[in-house]
Amino acid sequence: MIDGARLLALMAAVAAGSFGLTGLVRRYARIRLLDVPNARSSHSCPTPRGGGAAVVVAWLIALWLAPVSAGSRLALAFSGGLAVAAVGFVDDHRPLSARHRMAVHLGAAIWALGWLGGLPQLALGGHSWALGWAGSVLGVVTVVWMLNLFNFMDGIDGLAGSEAGFVAGAAGLLGQLWYPDSGLGPLNLLLAASCLGFLAWNWPPASIFMGDVGSGFIGFVLGVSAIASARLGGLSLGVWLILSAVFVADASYTLLWRVASGQRWFEAHRSHGYQHAVARLGGHRPVTLAVWAINLGWLLPLALLAVARPDYEWLCLLMAYAPLLLFAVFLGAGRSQSRRVGEPA
């Protein structure tokens, strides 16, 4: 088990490394990976993308330095993220078909669940249910949804980096305090550090975007961490759902509305709740700050209560999601909006 002082030093090194690597990626991206605004963009100036590659490299180096050997089953499960990052890197350069991306995502999720041994039972609210083979299916769906979730929600400055830093950091801290034997706490804290190093460049107004290489990889790692945590007796999936509630509620409601209303749900769009919030609040920064406030002021205390009192987990889930779903309805999530001239980036 890694001691606190070494972990803090490693986190600082990873954050600094991610910051420096992002600067190097930005030099490359300014020539090869400029994101030019279009009708579905939330920014108005050409901006480099692909900065998430720095997060990938920084965290993988941290994984090698942390007390999880490269030959362990857990490390092999996480290694599927390399394929996700690779297809995202290619997609950032030259858009790939959804079919090809999904094939890689499914393959990586199946690979991870295979090394983790599936999800034989589900613990929620202090109770456990045997799932059998259905647990593996649920695990694959969870990982695929999480990695696409971050891709869907990575649409404004600082949002995805902030959410990843919060979810990984909070899960890492809670896991380290309550379930240190699972070994996942340090890995999530190191992921948070790598995301925060990138966020220094991505904070509104962003000088580089995360890109699919980063959003898919981060979502994959968080999804695998959630399954591994449930598998190894760490944080329950319910706690992970509480911590991820901002993204899960917005993306899930938006997708369901678009499907129910007969829209081409698989196409890029500007109808997520956070995108409507940008139009209402007049910029990216207020929305990103609001998400930080919700995460730290509402969801973190609920997750803490759910960990300390598992019998309250269902209530905490309800309290986490009910207001966020109401916000999504209020903001008009799922409904189209046209780009307005002069809208801030």
- Give the pLDDT confidence score for residue 123 in this predicted structure: 81
Binning the chain into helix, strand and coil, the percentages to the nearest 5 are 70, 5, 25
Residue carrying the six token digits 């803490």:
304
- Give the pLDDT confidence score for residue 56 in this predicted structure: 98
pLDDT digits (tens, 9 = 90+) for 265-274: 777 788 999 9
Which secondary-structure segment (H or E) carries 292? helix 284-294
- Residues 6 or more apart in contact with residue 318 via CB below 8 angstroms: none
Find the Cα–Cα–Cα–Cα dihedral 251, 254, 257, 259, rounded to 10°.
-60
**Residue closest to 84 by CA, chosen among 103, 102, 105:** 105
Could you give the C-alpha distances from 245 to 63, 153, 164, 198, 342, in angstroms and in order? 26, 12, 12, 22, 31
- Give the pLDDT confidence score for residue 69 in this predicted structure: 46
pLDDT digits (tens, 9 = 90+) for 297-311: 999 999 999 999 999
Q: Does the pLDDT value for residue 144 go beyond 80?
A: yes
pLDDT digits (tens, 9 = 90+) for 182-224: 888 999 999 999 999 999 999 999 999 999 999 999 999 999 9
- The type of residue at 189 is L
**Residue closest to 234 by CA, chosen among 297, 171, 314:** 171
How many separate helices (H) and strands (E) can be counted in the chain? 15, 4
CA distance 219 to 103: 16
pLDDT digits (tens, 9 = 90+) for 82-94: 999 999 999 999 9
pLDDT digits (tens, 9 = 90+) for 229-282: 988 889 999 999 999 999 999 999 999 999 999 887 777 788 999 999 999 999
Q: How confident is the model at residue 226 (pLDDT cuts 50, 70, 90)?
A: very high
Evaluate whether 158 touches 283 at the Cβ level (below 8 Å). Answer: no
Q: Does the pLDDT value for residue 318 go beyond 90?
A: yes
Q: Directed axis angle between helix 211-231 and helix 159-178, to 10°?
A: 20
* Whether this model's pTM surpasses 0.85: yes
Q: How confident is the model at residue 68 (pLDDT cuts 50, 70, 90)?
A: low
Q: Does the pLDDT value for residue 66 go beyond 90?
A: no
DSSP 142: H
- The type of residue at 321 is Y
Q: How confident is the model at residue 1 (pLDDT cuts 50, 70, 90)?
A: low
Kindly report the three-state secondary structure assignment for every residue of 63-130.
HHHCCCCCCCHHHHHHCCHHHHHHHHHHHHHCCCCHHHHHHHHHHHHHHHHHHHCCCCEEEECCEEEE
- Give the pLDDT confidence score for residue 306 in this predicted structure: 97
pLDDT digits (tens, 9 = 90+) for 10-58: 999 999 999 999 999 999 999 888 887 655 556 668 889 999 999 999 9
